[in-house]
Structure 1
């Protein structure tokens, strides 16, 4: 039986004066891909950010790899380094002169950040290998300001690969990509999942992708409305309960 990488118990998170997430409980086992689905404003990103310790929780507990998230949102460094997070939008000042190599190197470790890029051979090797795994080795010297959306997603996946991870969290990571680039992103993501054994927790609006690739689904509209396998959770009755009776799913073929 697979061990649980993430356990959320009775989590409630407030934004201003209202409960954006209320009494949410679930567990994510190693090697499992769980999608969080629900309408806009359902609390999906709030849930992710609270799990990561970015937003404080009002009540409940979060445990990652057996370590409890502290009241201040801290996890021990050895646990924190086994988590990778890909946000919906990677916002940065394009005037910052940082290359893809340097961006991916940020995922190495706290010690590596204190050493000059050119003088840290193990880190340089890890960055090169990570970029090679996502077919982006040629992008290494490029300034990130010159990257296309698809190239940036590859660079961020390389960031996730630069050191061993057990948990990958994605907040609509393919957002902004065209259909071809999105399809390529998912192909690469699930190839890497099989190779690396990642547990994945991802927010998605693409129900066809969820049905095709994900192992578990969490239907959220501030509270959990249903959870289970894609076939069970994404039934017409459940979708109507989560999204409303007028919901018509968009058919998106990869």
Structure 2
């Protein structure tokens, strides 16, 4: 792609205490590109995301965002005070830039109109994830950031969500950054994969990454049915192992 990136990270490094969490990470996100950041738990994915969003300041390196970049962020979880009575419609109306028409549109688009008057405290994991996705879409993002979007969602719900993401990219004309540690459908739902394991051990087109020895050591082989089953059996100490790579290095952290 020859366009200017909407977000560029250049040599980001971050240390918490004695632990180097991110080490000279560089990446570009192009307009309309879908990038998936994968890796075991505890290897800095969520920390890197928060740095890219401006929620955490790196020790060194810089981030260049396109002017007034609108970012829709779907966090792993959003704890709410159980004592606060709030239905789905009221929750979404709290979103900046939201209008009644926009709330109704995204409820319908995500097939959750039936949840409109339901308490946010009574939703299933999959329902809550869709509500959080609607919240991120309401800002009309140029960059949609999804942190572990299928957490707490059953297999059918995961399939549907990963089929939906490229559609949303096309409808909004936005770029998408997804974060996961066990992403079953990365091959069909993403343009580029960046694999973190204490550093960027490999990156590129999903087909290329799926054949990379460092990737295969982490996640196993791709099955012939087109679904990439990532079986992760490593403890957090695995993040300290060195897999030499010409790609940029990243640090590790318990996300």
Normalised-by-shorter TM-score class: 0.7 to 0.9
Distance 1:207 1:179 in 2: 11
Higher relative CO (Cα under 8 Å, sequence separation at least 6) belongs to 2
Shift of residue 16, structure 1, vs aligned partner: 2.0
CA contact (8 A) 2:210 2:221 kept: no
1:12-33 CA distance string (max 9 Å, x none): 1122221111000010101111
Task: Give runs of aligned pairs for residues 110-129 of structure 1, distance below 5 A.
Answer: 123-129=99-105
How many residues were matched structurally?
225
The structure whose residues are more often helix, as a share, is 1
CA distance in 1, matches of 2:76, 2:106: 21
2:69 aligned with 1:93, yes or no?
no
Task: Work out the CA distance in 2 between the residues paired with 1:86 and 1:161.
Answer: 9
Shift of 1:249: 5.4
Q: Distance in 2 between matches of 1:17 and 1:184?
A: 42
201, 205, 224: which one aligns with 1:229: 205
SS in 1 for 2:6: strand
Q: Which runs of 4+ in 1 moved over 3 A?
A: 247-254
**Separation (CA, whole Å) in 2 of partners of 1:22 and 1:168:** 24
Q: CA RMSD in A?
A: 2.2
Identify the match of residue 140 of structure 1 among 116, 138, 142.
116
1:2-17 aligned at under 5 Å gives the runs 2-17=3-18
Aligned to 2:52: 51
Matches within 5 A, 1:83-232: 83-109=71-97, 123-232=99-208
TM-score (norm 1): 0.80
Contact kept in structure 2, 1:219 and 1:225, CA below 8 Å: yes
Could you list the runs of 5+ residues in structure 1 that have no partner in the other structure?
67-77, 113-122
Q: Which runs of 5+ in 2 are unaligned?
A: 229-255
* TM-score for both structures, normalised by structure 2: 0.80
